[in-house]
Amino acid sequence: MAASNGQRVGAFFLALLFLLTTIGATVYVIWQIRQSDSGIVKDTVADSSKSEQADQEARCGQKSYDAVEPMSIPTTTTASTPITELQTIDISEGDGTEVQPGDCVAALYYGTLATDGTKFDENYTTGKPIEFSLNGVIDGWKEGIPGMKVGGVRRLLIPSAQGYGEAGAGDSIPPNSDLVFEVKIVGVRQAQ
């Protein structure tokens, strides 16, 4: 039986429709694969930068600094009212390399409770600097130390929320304690 012209035209349009949907589906699949690949690359790049930061933090603290002249115990600073925001007071500016956020810093420090001046930690009197990453310290240090220069001394008045907060730190820093640190920068290694 011979097909009529109408049947031939209908079959042609069905074949054309099948061809176009196949091409469209193929293009869509390829587009989705490319989108997924670019997402993987972005995640890999982000993971790579996180890995580099972790590597730098791991290297930080491994450099040995010679002992420097011990600092005398600073004048105790107390606060009669709660500290509501981070305050920085430069005691001496220093003339070395400027500390940037995330740097690896070697420092001498003297830490006290703001309420009564009780010392809870220090290495001022030993003259033996410690090295640490600014990415791994309390927020008061993270925000209060950048901008200092090697040789500089700064006093940080830190509200509890930027210190150890509601948890405190062991027996020496009670919960919700405002803190005062005097910090001398002895060395700095720039963030990578």
Mean pLDDT computed over 150-154: 96
Given this model, what pLDDT does residue 33 score?
65
CA distance 113 to 84: 15
DSSP E strands in the chain: the ranges are 87-92, 104-113, 119-122, 130-133, 153-158, 179-189
**30-47 confidence digits (pLDDT tens):** 656 665 443 333 333 344
CA distance 156 to 97: 20
Q: Which amino acid is at 51?
A: S
CA distance 77 to 155: 9
Q: Which amino acid is at 183?
A: V
Dig out the tokens for 152 from the structure. Answer: 């500089």
Dig out the tokens for 4 from the structure. Answer: 């009529």
Dig out the tokens for 176 from the structure. Answer: 């919700």
Residue labelled with tokens 């070395």: 96
Given this model, what pLDDT does residue 71 score?
82
**127-143 confidence digits (pLDDT tens):** 999 999 999 999 999 99
Q: Which amino acid is at 179?
A: L
CA distance 14 to 96: 78
Query: CA dist 171 to 2, 4, 93, 149, Å?
Result: 98, 96, 34, 33
pLDDT: is 16 or 74 the higher one? 74
Q: pLDDT-based confidence at 70, cuts 50/70/90?
A: confident
